[in-house]
């Protein structure tokens, strides 16, 4: 285990973006930024630790391009750990305290969380195994940053064993259910252009296999003019996905009916007031369709992405192709779909979808 530097200065090599002088004057203090990131009140942190937390937040947003959900979860999880560590050590958390945390400290933290629970996982049973695994993953991500950005190495975090999790198989809709959802979602909205928008979004999820964050992150300039489209996925990774005629037609119908100006550098999908569209209206629309059609509770926007992969595999798509289309970094993430459907049919893409 390395000894931390005697003094952590702001210009320590940082994997995050550099700020020019014009940004420094109006930049919020490290303490204020750390407080906003960690969420539930700032723990007792030294100024140097506040600076490290702020830089990690900047790194996640600007360099890793993590989703808002991921950044929020990381901040909440690490904030809980820092609050625990301050109480555990009886003093403010310094870089030296972060390095000095041993395996007993991390085990005590997880035991504390299991007893108290956290967020939606808080119950009579305490912390669920999946939530415990997420906490541990957040801490490991934080410590990886500390090692790379400031030379603060902690070997103990790697030695902590996480809980064993049950194998979770995706729950896609069948082709009939997916088609019915796409056919019905437009009728759930009272405003015609909102109906066209919702149809365009869910058609992208099913027809291109996008994550909802990827679909809502598209800019007006990203509208496909050909048979392919560039998508920015997790960690800023780019991929090219084929675009079926049904997808282009749905987007075109939305663009024609949308009453708001859509500048090329602005969001493609907007809310009723013209601001960027968040996931909640899409989730609510799918929920309404689910209730109307009697679809299972697993019928969510993300289930359409699962359906894309499962139906493509059923119609002859190979795992490598599906891996590229989904933007999975690891083939093992794609192999879970073989548990859902291993039938081998002839076509690879166009014939995978009834609406192609």
**The one catalytic residue among 134, 248, 290, 328:** 328
Asked whether 295 and 177 are in contact (CB, 8 A), the reply is yes
How many alpha carbons lie under 13 Å from residue 252 in its C-beta half-sphere? 10
Q: For 92, phi and psi rounded to 5 degrees?
A: -65, 150
Q: How many CB atoms lie within 10 A of CB 254?
A: 24
**The one catalytic residue among 134, 211, 248, 315:** 211
Determine whether 305 is an active site residue.
yes
Asked whether 335 and 326 are in contact (CB, 8 A), the reply is no
Determine whether 7 is an active site residue.
no
Asked whether 160 and 103 are in contact (CB, 8 A), the reply is yes
Closest alpha carbon to 295 in 173, 169, 171: 173
Determine whether 328 is an active site residue.
yes
**The one catalytic residue among 74, 143, 254, 337:** 337
Burial call 65-77: b when 16+ CB within 10 Å, e when fewer: bbbeebbebbbbb
Asked whether 314 and 174 are in contact (CB, 8 A), the reply is no
**The one catalytic residue among 80, 134, 290, 302:** 302
What the block records as the tokens of 334 is: 């794609």
**The one catalytic residue among 134, 305, 311, 315:** 305
**The one catalytic residue among 219, 234, 239, 351:** 234
Among left, alpha and beta (phi > 0; psi -120 to 50; other), residue 94 is: beta
The catalytic residue positions are: 211, 234, 302, 305, 328, 337
């Amino acid at each position: 285990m390395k000894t931390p530097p005697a003094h952590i200065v702001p210009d320590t090599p940082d994997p995050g973006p550099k700020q020019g002088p014009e940004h420094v004057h109006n930049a919020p203090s490290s303490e204020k930024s750390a407080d906003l990131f960690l969420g539930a009140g700032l723990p007792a942190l030294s100024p140097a630790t506040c600076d490290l937390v702020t830089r990690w937040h900047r790194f996640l947003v600007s360099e890793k391009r993590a989703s808002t959900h991921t950044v929020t979860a990381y901040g909440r999880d690490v904030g809980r750990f820092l609050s625990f560590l301050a109480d555990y050590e009886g003093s403010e958390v310094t870089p030296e305290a972060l390095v000095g945390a041993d395996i007993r400290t991390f085990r005590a933290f997880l035991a504390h969380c299991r007893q108290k629970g956290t967020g939606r996982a808080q119950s009579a049973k305490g912390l669920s195994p999946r939530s415990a695994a997420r906490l541990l993953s957040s801490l490991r991500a934080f410590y990886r940053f500390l090692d790379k950005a400031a030379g603060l190495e902690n070997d103990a975090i790697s030695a902590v064993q996480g809980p064993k999790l049950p194998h979770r198989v995706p729950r896609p809709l069948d082709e009939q259910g997916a088609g019915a959802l796409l056919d019905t979602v437009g009728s759930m909205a009272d405003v015609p252009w909102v109906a066209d928008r919702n149809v365009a979004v869910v058609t992208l999820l099913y027809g291109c296999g996008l994550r909802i964050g990827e679909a809502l992150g598209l800019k007006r300039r990203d509208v496909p003019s050909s048979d392919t489209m560039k998508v920015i996925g997790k960690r800023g990774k780019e991929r090219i996905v084929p675009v079926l005629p049904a997808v282009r037609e749905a987007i075109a119908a939305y663009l024609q009916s949308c009453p708001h100006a859509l500048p090329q550098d602005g969001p493609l999908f907007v809310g009723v007031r013209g601001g960027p569209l968040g996931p909640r209206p899409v989730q609510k629309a799918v929920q309404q369709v689910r209730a109307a059609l009697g679809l299972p509770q697993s019928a969510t926007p993300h289930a359409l992405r699962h359906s894309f992969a499962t139906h493509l595999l059923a119609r002859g798509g190979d795992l490598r192709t599906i891996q590229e289309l989904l933007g999975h970094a690891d083939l093992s993430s794609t192999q879970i779909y073989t548990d859902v459907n291993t039938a081998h049919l002839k076509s690879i893409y166009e014939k995978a979808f009834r609406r192609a």
